[in-house]
Each structure stands twice: as C-alpha cells, then as structure tokens.
Amino acid sequence: MKTMILDNEKIGKVEIELNMEKCPETCKTIWNALPLDLDLSRWGDELYGTIPVKAKPENEQEECEVGDVAYWLQGSGFCILFGKTPASTGSKPQLVSPGNVFGSIKADPAMFKQFNSFKGTLLKGE
C-alpha cells in the first residue's frame, strides 16, 4: 500500500495510507503533484486548504470517518477530518459538499485538534 507523508514542524512526519482501491485516479493525481506545500485552515474538526490539483469525482461522499483524508471537489481542497464539522448531522465528520476520500491518517487524528491553522508539506512515502 502506498503512503504519503504529512510533514509539519510541530508534529513531525505523519503517514497517510492511500486507498488505491476506492480512489485510484485521485491517489495518482495527487501523488504525481507531490511535493505540495499545505496551508490549511480549520473548520470545526477539519483542516482544509486549496491544492494545485484537479481530480474528477471518484466514489465521492460527504459523510466521512475520523482520520479520513479527502480531496474536496468543489474547491480543489485537501482535507483532514478529525472530528465533527459544522456540516455534521451525526457524530461523524462531514464535508460541506462531496469529496473523494482517498486516504486515512495512520496515527491518532486527535493530534490535529491543537491547530487553528496548519502549515506543512505533503511528500511521497513508500
């Protein structure tokens, strides 16, 4: 299984396991654009920001799981979901509009609760 690495000065390197079965084209598109500098803002328990990547809808969804990493279709966005968002109608994170959930954080996603904004680099892993 391929991984990406999220590198941040405060938390170090965090692995993202890619879901090549569910979103193979999204994974390839983002992988081919790496490395990417990230400048993410917080929306509830989600960090999100625009990336210079254009992916097409691929098994898109709004409701996610804690720890999911998604490509937000409406805004060319990179999203880390670590809890409820303002769009959530239940206990799960929810994107404001459909996105491709292409990976998951391989550590405790609660670590992202400390950030109101997040700067880091997305790198190729294995």
2.40.100.20, 3.20.20.120, 3.30.70.260, 3.90.79.10: CATH of 3-123: 2.40.100.20
DSSP string, 12-49: EEEEEEE-TTT-HHHHHHHHHH-SEEEEEEESSSEEEE
pTM for the whole structure: 0.96
* Each residue's pLDDT expressed in tens, for the chain with a length of 126 residues: 699 999 999 999 999 999 999 999 999 999 999 999 999 999 999 999 999 999 999 999 999 999 999 999 998 999 999 999 999 999 999 999 999 999 999 999 999 999 999 999 999 998
Parse the chain into domains and list their residue ranges.
Answer: 3-123
